[in-house]
Structure 1
Amino acid sequence: MNPNIRLSQGEKVLGTEYTILDFWQWGFYNILTNNLRGIFAEFLVASALGTVNQSRIEWEAYDLIYKDKKIEVKSAAYIQAWYSGKPSKISFSIGHKKEFDYETNKYSPDAKRNADIYVFCLMKEKDPTIINPQDTSQWEFYIVPTTKLNDTFPQQKTLTLRSLQKVAEPVLYLDIIKVIGGFC
């Protein structure tokens, strides 16, 4: 199978009676898990930018490209799949990372923030009885150019919500393209 071919829900898993949709429903049913929420946040940003036709590359140094800008998407939520009765503290990873070059099969010598823009996606709902990751009104998006992160938080590895709110205002899903477009 070519790794760049998109699967469709009706495709059969060869040698079984199941389809790719069955696999997706079995393995990816709970968007509140940390890894799937992060991927879903990337999807939300890609859908807002009209770039869902780009294939997602798991270990790329950034998550999306819009026009000529590399975008890193981070997510956090008050309610987790393993909800313990009180909301989680919100923080986002912003540490410097080495970029992997797929052509040379090597990491860059220097660690840095490899994207041009960061989009911090907060699943803001705190009521576990109504939380719905598929409802974009339950999300806030904070969009920050990497230059601002580098100037304000040059060596920080994590960013609390309070610190983030000092450098960015939350925007709605429908405003993501307008704000990011302003940086392009």
Structure 2
Amino acid sequence: MYVFCLFARRDRATADPLDVGQWEFYVTSAHRLDETVGEEKRISLAALLQRVHPIRAGFGELRAAVEAVPTGARDTRRQAPE
């Protein structure tokens, strides 16, 4: 399981890394990531979204997103509850 975390606030005047509402989370299985990017050691956000199709979640939805990601070799993706 991978959870990519992005501090998404761009306005320096209101940016607060301790505010979990200013973060975005992207969840995918290790199998899906390995299958899609292979031996690559880095991935951009654009490539992650276009190639891996992780589940996007805010902090409040993170648990549901993690539970929705399959963990086995057969990566039959489920959608996180809204």
Q: TM class, shorter-chain normalised?
A: 0.7 to 0.9
**Structure 2 residue aligned with 1:152:** 36
Find the aligned partners of 2:55 and 2:8 in 1 and give their Cα distance. 14
Number of equivalences: 68
**Structure 2 residue aligned with 1:33:** none
Mind listing any 5+ residue stretches in structure 2 that lack a counterpart?
A: 72-82
SS of 2:43's equivalent in the other structure is: strand
Find the aligned partners of 2:39 and 2:11 in 1 and give their Cα distance. 34
Find the aligned partners of 1:120 and 1:171 in 2 and give their Cα distance. 10
**Structure 1 residue aligned with 2:66:** 180
**Percent identical across equivalent pairs?**
26
Match for residue 19 of structure 2 among 135, 143, 149:
135
SS of 1:159's equivalent in the other structure is: coil
Find the aligned partners of 1:164 and 1:175 in 2 and give their Cα distance. 19
With normalisation by structure 2, the TM-score equals 0.75
Match for residue 54 of structure 2 among 168, 176, 183:
168
SS of 1:132's equivalent in the other structure is: coil
Find the aligned partners of 1:130 and 1:139 in 2 and give their Cα distance. 13
Once the two structures are TM-superposed, the CA of residue 169 in structure 1 deviates from its matched residue by: 3.9
Higher relative contact order structure (alpha carbons within 8 Å, sequence separation ≥ 6): 2
> Structure 1 stretches (4+) deviating beyond 3 angstroms?
none
Find the aligned partners of 1:156 and 1:141 in 2 and give their Cα distance. 21
Look at both structures and tell me which one has the larger radius of gyration over its CA atoms.
Answer: 1
With normalisation by structure 1, the TM-score equals 0.35
Mind listing any 5+ residue stretches in structure 1 that lack a counterpart?
A: 1-116
RMSD of aligned C-alpha atoms?
1.3
